[in-house]
């Protein structure tokens, strides 16, 4: 069992101040709600992305994620114990958290156990100090006082696995709704581990078939039968030993039935309905996809909807939606940013570059506020490019549906064969597989167009279009992302083992006579193929091209030579082990590198498919950070894209389970020292974080001295920013006083002096 301090993030319109160095932040959607639970003045909502609650007293929405202390993602069930003041949290992978006051206690035992069956936690029943978890393989009993697993009941045949969806009690018996009927047992039996002490209820209609919800209310047992074939479920109740049919609001799915504030709550496919003990309908409310609901003591109905998130509804029937601000979904295929605006695309392709059929979704983050749009008519938006002249103007390459143009977050045009030079892969049809798009130095937009005779198109700055056959040198099935280098050369990924392609128009789009094209393998100095399976490309601040393959990193240090005669080879970075053996390893040589981004200090952020994200030094020889989902708030070890805010050093990391950001130490250097400032200033005695000197010229030498001129610290700026921990070379915290900060660029031609007050 682990005990983690819980920190709450209060959302009241914005997400608060800029994070400090080393701080993480999640950027997730909270619309896909699973369950709600009342806890006095708080209403908790479990979602796929995390947990949040509404505080009735202060009228605030508060999020709790991995950053705030949760141990996992994808919560599937929650329930509150009033006696202990504990919220029990169950995940789809059978991880368990207990939120008690400001602490989170993790119970990972079942998650870690090798179980071949379904490990999902469907529902949680609280009885005194025990929590009964309905799991995909059986029942797990948690002792809330001791914060530990008390028992596991396997009630299948001969003690085997059985999918338990829900549980209820009448005080004398436990009832379990399972995939093979309803089971019951004496709650006071001390040997419920023995499956023989559980018996199937045989007199209920459809005995032995699937029941997914069950509850005890007003001396009646209610049970929801799931009719998989007909698509219309049935709700039954037993009264005086006789099972009867309960007429629900609609002849469709029955998701949930519960007692609440002396009423019966029934959640069906499109309605949440409240009944009194006489089965009279008191109120009902329609919804898009409701799955769970509670009724509080104030007669307020709280509903978890998988499309809308959580909302509350008073007796008058209105709806007030309550959820944290976030993107439309947590899917992240592409991240781009310019100045203070960030865009994400939520599409995708499969490993074999087939469609995933995700809606074309564009999300916009500006001023700490998310907005977004999703289109049903277009699918699989996989790469974005921002207009360099207008940050509110962005294009998206889709895998099958053409080029999408957005202004101010709204779709304004779709380009296909009717209004551009883009070509379809289906003769006589309209299916335009675009792998990437990028602006060049002349504000022309270049697009890679897969599987067609003219695989590169350009939308010129004047709005006119042109396509290129490239002398037939690009006859590969698929084309991926495209980058534009400092030399205005274009490099294109050729997926599925086809290497790379580069072309140069020599500054004349319409004159093709001087164009240069080169399709090439990723080879080493000996002509041996390193790997043609390329996933990512990035140009660093020195003009070197970093290539991410399924065998790690390959670097091209003289990229313009790609068009010259003779061999053109890349180099893998060999990192000494420094353990006395004399051995060395290829940088990430066993990893599939899915994303690369370069920060203001020319360091590389490298995303992988299975091992999270690495930050390496400028030359790749030193590992600065390695973050995984196990040792950081990173949501998944499968990284989909990375983008860096050059102004403040925030690194945005897309994963298969959503996006997080991390405040790093490096920013882009300035041309002069006019924007230098230090924060915090003054540094007070209770400050425990870093001291940041920012707005510097790139890579300057920074000396910090006391007022008498004694040097207490010296460093080289990371791009345009230097970091100090407030301590001397010997590790002692400096004394109270004024400290001078001297900044000098590499050749001594630019200098700057500023001051800092430290109060200890």
The DSSP element (H or E) to which 502 belongs, if any, is: strand 500-504
pLDDT tens-digit profile of 545-567? Answer: 999 999 999 999 999 999 998 88
The closest alpha carbon to 572, from 600, 545, 544, 553, belongs to 553
| Residue 493, CB-side half-sphere exposure with 13 Å CA sphere | 28
Predicted confidence at residue 6, as pLDDT, reads 39
Domains of the chain: 328-520 (2.120.10.30), 524-667 (2.130.10.10), 677-758 (2.60.40.3080)
Predicted confidence at residue 662, as pLDDT, reads 97
Q: Is the pLDDT of residue 544 over 80?
A: yes
Distance CA 419, CA 153 (A): 64
Distance CA 398, CA 346 (A): 10
Distance CA 41, CA 300 (A): 12
653's tokens: 């990391």
What's the rounded mean pLDDT across residues 184-199?
96
663 confidence band (pLDDT: 50, 70, 90): very high
What's the rounded mean pLDDT across residues 505-520?
94
Distance CA 461, CA 710 (A): 56
SS3 call for 556: strand
Question: How far apart, in Å, are the Cα atoms of 653 and each of 70, 307, 339, 556?
Answer: 19, 25, 17, 25
Q: Is the pLDDT of residue 16 over 50?
A: no
Our CA dihedral for 286, 373, 457, 433, rounded to 10 degrees, sits at -30
Q: Positive or negative CA dihedral for 204, 206, 212, 213? A: negative
The closest alpha carbon to 358, from 334, 391, 392, belongs to 334
| Bridge partners, 639 (sequence order) | 655
* Prediction pTM value: 0.92
742's tokens: 């001297």
Predicted confidence at residue 427, as pLDDT, reads 86
Distance CA 168, CA 186 (A): 12
The closest alpha carbon to 334, from 371, 385, 373, belongs to 385
Distance CA 612, CA 603 (A): 17
Q: Is 467 in contact with 457 (CB distance < 8 Å)?
A: yes
Q: How far is CA 476 from the centre of its chain?
A: 32
The closest alpha carbon to 473, from 519, 525, 440, 428, belongs to 519
Q: What percentage of the chain has pLDDT greater than the value 70?
A: 98
Q: Is the pLDDT of residue 246 over 70?
A: yes
Predicted confidence at residue 18, as pLDDT, reads 60
SS3 call for 476: coil
Predicted confidence at residue 12, as pLDDT, reads 35
512's tokens: 């093709």
What's the rounded mean pLDDT across residues 573-587?
89
Q: Is 161 in contact with 155 (CB distance < 8 Å)?
A: no
Distance CA 489, CA 162 (A): 60
Residues whose CB is less than 8 angstroms from the CB of residue 475 and which lie 6 or more positions away in sequence, other chains included: none
SS3 call for 68: coil
466 burial (CB, 10 Å; 0-12 / 13-18 / 19+) is: middle
564 burial (CB, 10 Å; 0-12 / 13-18 / 19+) is: exposed
Q: Is the pLDDT of residue 723 over 80?
A: yes
| Bridge partners, 336 (sequence order) | 343
User: Any idea what DSSP says for residue 109?
Assistant: H
Q: Is 47 in contact with 94 (CB distance < 8 Å)?
A: no
Backbone angles phi, psi at 25, to 5 degrees: -150, 140
Q: Is 381 in contact with 404 (CB distance < 8 Å)?
A: yes
Q: Is the pLDDT of residue 2 over 60?
A: no
Q: Supply the mean pLDDT for the chain.
A: 93
Q: Is the pLDDT of residue 9 over 70?
A: no
What's the rounded mean pLDDT across residues 623-639?
96
Concatenated DSSP letters of 477-495:
S----EEE-TTS-EEEE-T
What's the rounded mean pLDDT across residues 340-363?
94
Q: Is the pLDDT of residue 8 over 60?
A: no
Backbone angles phi, psi at 584, to 5 degrees: -145, 165
Strand 639-644 vs strand 623-627: parallel, antiparallel, or unpaired?
A: unpaired
Predicted confidence at residue 252, as pLDDT, reads 87
SS3 call for 111: helix
The DSSP element (H or E) to which 112 belongs, if any, is: helix 109-112
What's the rounded mean pLDDT across residues 368-391?
95
330 burial (CB, 10 Å; 0-12 / 13-18 / 19+) is: buried
SS3 call for 438: strand
HEC-encoded secondary structure of 168-217: EECCCEEEEEECCEEEEEECCCCCCCCHHHCEECCCCCCCCCCEEEEEEE
Distance CA 489, CA 703 (A): 40
Distance CA 662, CA 634 (A): 9
- Tally of CB atoms within 10 A around 741: 21
Q: Is the pLDDT of residue 230 over 90?
A: no
741's tokens: 């900060």
The DSSP element (H or E) to which 110 belongs, if any, is: helix 109-112
SS3 call for 236: strand
- Tally of CB atoms within 10 A around 321: 12
Predicted confidence at residue 388, as pLDDT, reads 97
pLDDT tens-digit profile of 90-106? Answer: 999 999 999 998 899 99
Residues whose CB is less than 8 angstroms from the CB of residue 372 and which lie 6 or more positions away in sequence, other chains included: 327, 328, 361, 362, 363, 364, 409
Predicted confidence at residue 624, as pLDDT, reads 97
pLDDT tens-digit profile of 193-219? Answer: 999 999 999 999 999 999 999 999 999
The closest alpha carbon to 379, from 404, 359, 356, belongs to 359
Predicted confidence at residue 581, as pLDDT, reads 84
Distance CA 380, CA 296 (A): 42
Predicted confidence at residue 115, as pLDDT, reads 84
Predicted confidence at residue 4, as pLDDT, reads 36
Question: How far apart, in Å, are the Cα atoms of 627 and each of 112, 633, 649, 653?
Answer: 21, 8, 17, 11
Q: Is the pLDDT of residue 5 over 60?
A: no
577 burial (CB, 10 Å; 0-12 / 13-18 / 19+) is: exposed
Question: How far apart, in Å, are the Cα atoms of 126 and each of 85, 91, 147, 211, 500?
Answer: 12, 16, 14, 20, 59
What's the rounded mean pLDDT across residues 352-366?
95
Distance CA 336, CA 652 (A): 9
What's the rounded mean pLDDT across residues 458-485?
93
133's tokens: 């978890």
Tell which wins on pLDDT, 758 or 580. 758
Q: Is the pLDDT of residue 11 over 70?
A: no
pLDDT tens-digit profile of 251-296? Answer: 889 999 999 999 999 999 999 999 999 999 999 999 999 999 999 9
Distance CA 365, CA 337 (A): 9
């Amino acid at each position: 069992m682990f005990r983690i301090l819980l920190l709450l993030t209060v959302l009241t319109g914005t997400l608060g101040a800029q994070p400090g160095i080393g701080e993480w932040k999640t950027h997730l959607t909270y619309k896909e709600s699973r369950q709600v639970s009342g806890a006095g003045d708080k209403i908790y909502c479990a979602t796929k992305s995390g947990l949040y609650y509404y505080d009735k007293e202060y009228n605030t929405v508060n999020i709790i994620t991995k950053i705030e202390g949760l141990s996992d993602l994808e919560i599937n069930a929650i329930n509150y114990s009033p006696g202990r003041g504990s919220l029990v949290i169950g995940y789809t992978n059978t991880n368990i958290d207990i939120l008690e006051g400001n602490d989170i206690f993790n119970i990972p035992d079942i998650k870690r156990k090798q179980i071949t069956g379904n490990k999902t936690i469907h529902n949680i029943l609280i009885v005194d100090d025990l929590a009964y978890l309905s799991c995909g393989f059986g029942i797990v009993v948690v002792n809330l006082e001791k914060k530990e697993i008390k028992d596991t009941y396997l009630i299948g045949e001969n003690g085997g696995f059985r999918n338990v969806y829900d549980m209820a009690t009448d005080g004398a018996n436990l009832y379990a709704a399972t995939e093979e009927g309803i089971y019951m047992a004496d709650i006071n039996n001390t040997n419920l581990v023995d499956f023989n002490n559980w018996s199937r209820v045989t007199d209920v209609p459809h005995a032995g078939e699937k029941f997914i919800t069950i509850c005890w209310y007003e001396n009646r047992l209610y049970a929801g039968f799931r009719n998989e074939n007909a698509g219309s479920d049935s709700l039954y109740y037993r009264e005086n030993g006789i099972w009867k049919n309960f007429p629900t609001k609609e002849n469709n799915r029955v998701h949930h039935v519960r007692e609440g504030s002396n009423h019966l709550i029934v959640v069906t496919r499109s309605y949440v309905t409240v009944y009194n003990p006489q089965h009279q309908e008191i109120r009902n409310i329609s919804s898009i996809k409701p799955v769970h609901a509670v009724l509080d003591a104030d007669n307020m109905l709280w509903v978890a909807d998988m499309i809308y998130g959580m909302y509350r509804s008073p007796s008058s029937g209105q709806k007030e939606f309550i959820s944290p601000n976030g993107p439309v979904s947590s899917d992240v295929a592409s991240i781009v940013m310019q100045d203070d605006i960030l865009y994400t695309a939520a599409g995708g392709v499969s490993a074999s570059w087939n469609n995933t059929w995700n809606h074309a979704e564009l999300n916009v983050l500006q001023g700490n506020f998310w907005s977004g749009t999703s289109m049903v008519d277009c699918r699989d938006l996989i790469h974005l490019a921002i207009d360099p002249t207008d940050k509110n103007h962005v294009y998206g390459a889709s895998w099958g549906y053409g080029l999408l143009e957005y202004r101010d977050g709204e779709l304004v045009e779709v380009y296909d064969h009717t209004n551009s030079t883009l070509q379809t892969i289906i003769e006589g049809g309209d299916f335009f597989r675009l792998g990437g798009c990028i602006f060049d130095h002349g504000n022309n937009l270049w697009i890679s167009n897969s599987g067609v005779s003219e695989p590169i198109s350009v939308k010129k700055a004047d709005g006119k279009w042109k396509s290129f056959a490239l002398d037939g040198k690009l006859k590969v099935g698929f084309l991926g992302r495209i980058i534009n280098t400092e030399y205005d050369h274009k490099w294109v990924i050729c997926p599925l083992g086809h290497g790379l392609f580069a072309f140069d128009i020599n500054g004349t789009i319409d004159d093709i006579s001087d164009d240069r094209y080169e399709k090439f393998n990723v080879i080493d100095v000996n002509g041996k193929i390193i790997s043609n399976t390329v996933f990512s490309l990035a140009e660093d601040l020195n003009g070197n091209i970093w290539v991410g393959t399924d065998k790690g990193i390959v670097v091209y240090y003289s990229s313009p030579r790609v068009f010259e005669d003779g061999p053109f080879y890349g180099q893998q970075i060999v990192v000494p082990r420094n353990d006395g053996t004399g051995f060395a390893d290829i940088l990430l040589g066993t990893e599939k590198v899915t994303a690369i981004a370069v920060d203001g200090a020319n360091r590389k952020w490298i995303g992988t498919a299975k091992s999270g994200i690495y930050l390496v030094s400028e030359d790749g020889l030193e590992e600065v950070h390695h973050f995984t989902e196990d040792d950081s708030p990173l949501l998944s070890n499968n990284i989909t894209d990375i983008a860096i805010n050059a102004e403040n050093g925030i690194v945005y990391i897309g994963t298969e389970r959503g996006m997080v950001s991390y405040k790093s130490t490096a920013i882009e250097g300035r041309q002069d020292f006019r924007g230098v400032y230090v924060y915090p200033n003054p540094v007070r005695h209770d400050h425990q974080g870093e001291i940041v000197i920012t707005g510097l010229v790139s890579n300057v030498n920074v000396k910090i001295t006391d007022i008498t001129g004694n040097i207490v610290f010296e460093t080289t700026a990371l791009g345009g920013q230097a970091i100090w921990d407030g301590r001397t070379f010997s590790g002692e915290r400096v004394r109270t006083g004024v400290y001078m900060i001297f900044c000098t660029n590499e050749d001594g031609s630019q200098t700057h002096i500023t001051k800092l007050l430290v109060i200890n």
